[in-house]
Each structure stands twice: as structure tokens, then as C-alpha cells.
């Protein structure tokens, strides 16, 4: 297996893990307050993103941290 095959396999694993997390979140109820900063989550966000637990700002920080880990 060469480096390109390894990279493709790793990318696929990351993608599948992200999809699994998203599916699990959409099966749960949205929070009313952000789990990180305790700000009220707007109703439009709770409707648009079923299962959301973070405000847009905290979600952005979480995604950036995740991207830096990869």
C-alpha cells in the first residue's frame, strides 16, 4: 500500500466518523442553551440543525479544533 492509499483510507475513516456523529446528533433533541458558553440557542438554529448542542460561535471553535487535530 502506498502513501496515497493510506491517505485515502484515513480520509474515508474521518468522513465516516463525522457522518456517524451527525446522525447521532440529529436523533436527539436540540439543547435550549449552548453546552459550552450557556448562551440561549436561537429557535431558528434549533430547527435548522436538529440535535444541536452548541451556539454558532462555539461550533466554529469546535470545528477549528477538529481540523487542527487532523
Q: Please check whether residue 62 is in contact with residue 35, taking contact to mean a CB–CB distance below 8 angstroms.
A: no
- Residue pLDDT, tens place only, 4-49: 888 888 888 888 777 777 666 556 788 999 999 999 999 999 988 8
pLDDT of residue 37: 97
Cα 50 from chain centroid? 12
Q: Determine if residue 38 is left, alpha or beta; phi over 0 gives left, psi from -120 to 50 gives alpha, anything else beta.
A: left
Residue 27 · residue 49 · CB < 8 Å? no
Average pLDDT over residues 44-68: 90
| Number of residues that this document lists for the chain | 70
Amino acid at each position: 500500500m502506498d502513501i496515497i492509499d493510506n491517505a485515502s483510507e484515513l480520509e474515508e475513516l474521518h468522513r465516516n466518523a463525522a457522518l456517524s456523529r451527525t446522525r447521532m446528533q440529529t436523533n436527539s433533541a436540540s439543547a435550549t442553551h449552548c453546552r459550552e458558553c450557556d448562551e440561549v440557542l436561537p429557535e431558528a438554529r434549533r430547527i435548522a440543525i436538529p440535535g444541536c448542542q452548541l451556539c454558532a460561535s462555539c461550533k466554529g471553535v469546535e470545528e477549528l479544533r477538529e481540523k487542527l487535530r487532523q
